[in-house]
């Protein structure tokens, strides 16, 4: 590891990483312990740390309250909603059928991440949205010892699109710059020799971040996955296998 490494920590938040969190990822607690140890052991070599925070309202396209069926019922968590479901009026989005259909059609065109309804999670301002203590304490110690600043990027605040990857929303919206490509962050990657990636979940937000970075060959070659500092959402263990296969074997390390 050089002293020009960037550590990207994806969604190391209470709702994902604590067993009491609303959308706990099995194994995430141990992942975050290992990540904290990595930061403590390699602090001198880490030039910068960027943390992302999934950040939602209760009324969100990925939450039950956004959708109803003909009986006025909300979908259960882990329900998959498709274009066909909406066209057949099996599920209707809260703010109009057309906007929901446009989103789902674009998502299905991409062909990688189905639209899934989750338990309400990472609600803005709530405990669930906070970075878990073990990681936050390690980051603060790093900042204090090396006189560094860390950066926190909130994503997912627009309730009409998922925002798995750190670089842009799953379906960017023309009217909301925050859902489009984060150009300042992208440009900053030129200053690093290595980009280390860890966090939750391996199957969704980490995978989507990797997918987005792979669109830029000069950046793709810098990626190192801390593979035992992330875990998949249960039931989605192989969802992102095709994304990770695009990386070279040497781009995966254990800490």
Whether residue 115 is contained in a domain is answered as: no
Same structural domain for residues 85 and 202?
no
The CATH number for 165's domain is 3.40.50.850
Structurally, the chain folds into a number of domains equal to: 2
Calculate what percentage of the chain has a pLDDT beyond 90.
Answer: 96
DSSP reduced 3-state for 246: coil
User: How many other C-beta atoms lie within 10 A of the C-beta of residue 248?
Assistant: 9
The pLDDT of residue 1 is 45
Whether residue 218 is contained in a domain is answered as: yes
Whether residue 77 is contained in a domain is answered as: yes
Rounded to an integer, the average pLDDT of 31-57 is 97
Same structural domain for residues 15 and 85?
no
Cα 14 to Cα 128: distance, rounded to the nearest angstrom = 5
Same structural domain for residues 181 and 81?
no
Residues in the chain: 255
The pLDDT of residue 159 is 96
Same structural domain for residues 28 and 74?
no
Structural domain boundaries, residue 96: 64-110
Q: Compute φ and ψ for 130, nearest 5 degrees.
A: -75, 145
The pLDDT of residue 2 is 53
Note the pLDDT tens digit of each residue in 50-102.
999 999 999 999 999 999 999 999 999 999 999 999 999 999 999 888 889 99
Same structural domain for residues 238 and 154?
yes
Whether residue 246 is contained in a domain is answered as: yes
pTM: 0.95
Same structural domain for residues 125 and 50?
yes
């Amino acid at each position: 590891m050089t002293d020009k490494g960037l550590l990207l920590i994806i969604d190391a938040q209470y709702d994902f990483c604590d067993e009491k969190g609303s959308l706990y990822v099995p194994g995430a607690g141990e992942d975050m312990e290992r990540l904290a140890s990595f930061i403590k052991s390699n602090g001198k070599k880490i030039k910068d740390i960027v943390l992302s925070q999934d950040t939602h309202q209760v009324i969100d396209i990925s939450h039950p309250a956004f959708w109803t069926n003909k009986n006025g019922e909300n979908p259960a968590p882990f329900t998959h909603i498709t274009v066909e479901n909406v066209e057949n009026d099996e599920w209707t989005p809260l703010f109009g059928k057309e906007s929901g259909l446009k989103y789902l059609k674009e998502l299905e065109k991409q062909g990688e991440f189905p639209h899934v309804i989750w338990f309400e999670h990472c609600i803005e301002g709530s405990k669930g949205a906070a970075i878990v203590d073990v990681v936050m304490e390690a980051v603060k110690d790093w900042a204090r010892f090396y006189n560094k600043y860390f950066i926190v990027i909130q994503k997912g605040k627009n309730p009409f699109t998922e925002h798995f990857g750190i670089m842009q929303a799953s379906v960017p919206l023309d009217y909301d710059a925050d859902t489009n490509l984060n150009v300042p962050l992208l440009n900053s990657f030129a200053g690093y020799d290595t980009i280390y990636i860890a966090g939750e979940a391996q199957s969704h937000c980490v995978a989507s971040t990797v997918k987005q970075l792979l669109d830029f060959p000069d950046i793709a070659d810098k990626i190192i996955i801390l593979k035992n500092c992330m875990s998949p959402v249960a039931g989605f263990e192989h969802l992102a296998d095709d994304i990770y296969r695009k990386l070279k074997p040497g781009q995966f390390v254990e800490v």
